[in-house]
Amino acid sequence: MSVKMQQPPQMADERTLSTRSAVGTVFGLEMRQRLRGRAWYIMLAVWFVVIAAVFLLALATMGSYMDIGPMLFDLVVGFVLFFGLLVAPGLSANAVNGDRAAGTLAVLQVTLLTPGQLLAGKWLASWVGSLAFLVLSAPFIFWALALGGVPASEAFISLGMLALELGLVCAIGVGVSAIANRPLFSIVATYMLVALLSLGTLITFGLSTALVMEEAEVTTSYYSYPMPAENLDDQSPEPQPGDPECTTETFVQPVAHTERITWMLAANPFVVVADAVPYSRSAADAGQSGDFGYVENYRPPGVMEGISQQVRNFQAGPDYNVTCAESQGLARDVDDKFPIWPLGLLLQSLLAGGLLLLGYRRLRTPVRRLAQGTRIA
């Protein structure tokens, strides 16, 4: 008589959770923990008051401008990005090691959650938390849009790029929090990385201009006001200057070949957002050079539009022929170069992805080696 052997049932640790269910579970736990705290609502209230105060103050100050919409729009976008870069690291830089310090990370690690699902859930919760601040800022962006002068496409692309930048900064913070043991260290390290992207790129670019200086022949044009001949008769009125004339001079001077080093600015969050927005200002909006040397209907570019114009000038390289219109403030006519914001998103994504990969390896269990003083549970 033969006995048929049955296959043993699968062990419980061989079962897996679906990615959607696992990430949703971690996301729900993180959001409930954030929403319970009173500090969350206090920060949102302070954020709204600050944004409203800046917007209303700018509206009162620049209310005399005929075309105030574009300037207010750029101001709000730049201000939201600046403060978003300050808020996002605080929401994400202790997402993992905060649980490790509290002794609750090990409880999650012994479940069916994988390190990737754990990181994804915490990153998603941090990103959604930072988007709440962006949502509170959206009314002022659309208020500036309602004032006219800004196409709707610019507003939606700006909001999308702001959301994307906040997501990348949150990914950097979550990656650092998974690598570092101490929450304080991870918060400081995340802020340093954000400062490196925002200010470090500018400093590096500025110092590198000395390395790309060369002597070149430059033609510069400017308006001059010829004075008429003086009349020796004391009773005659004072001579008045004549109509301005465009004077051209050519001389040799050092110029910086910024087209060789502009890539250093690609990872800057402000450059990424400013360069991605398709500014569609007409020539009448920007102003035209009048017959008497001044710029008619000139509207200076806003904060973000000015950054975009300056980066395009850097990409174009030195200006060997400065026209009279440019000397009066009109933007330089440069050929459209390859946009720099895709390269910036690529560099930021590589940084965030590398940190998350290191954090993934740090969260794998069982752990062979632990730092001294690390709390397990």
pLDDT in tens, the chain (377 residues): 444 444 444 444 455 678 888 888 888 888 888 787 787 888 889 999 998 998 888 888 876 666 777 888 888 888 899 989 999 998 888 888 887 777 777 777 777 788 888 899 999 999 999 999 899 988 888 888 888 777 888 888 989 999 999 999 999 999 999 998 888 899 999 999 999 999 999 999 999 998 988 888 777 777 776 665 555 555 555 555 556 777 777 878 888 888 889 999 999 999 999 999 887 654 444 444 444 444 555 566 778 888 888 898 888 887 777 777 666 656 666 666 678 999 999 999 999 999 999 998 888 776 666 666 665 55
Query: Where does 147-268 have alpha helices with state H?
Result: 152-179, 183-195, 201-208
Q: How far apart are the first and last CA of the chain?
A: 53
pTM confidence score: 0.81
How far apart CA 353 and CA 348 sit, in angstroms, is 8
Q: Find how far residue 344's CA is from the centre of its chain.
A: 10
Output DSSP code: residue 267.
Answer: T
Please count the other Cβ atoms lying within 10 Å of the Cβ belonging to residue 5. 6
For residues 80 and 75, give the distance between their C-alpha atoms in angstroms, rounded to a whole number.
9
d(CA 17, CA 188): 34
Q: Residue 137 — φ and ψ, nearest 5°?
A: -90, -20
Provide the 3-class DSSP secondary structure of residue 215: strand
Cα Rg of the chain, angstroms: 29
For helices 341-363 and 269-276, the axis angle rounded to 10 degrees is 130
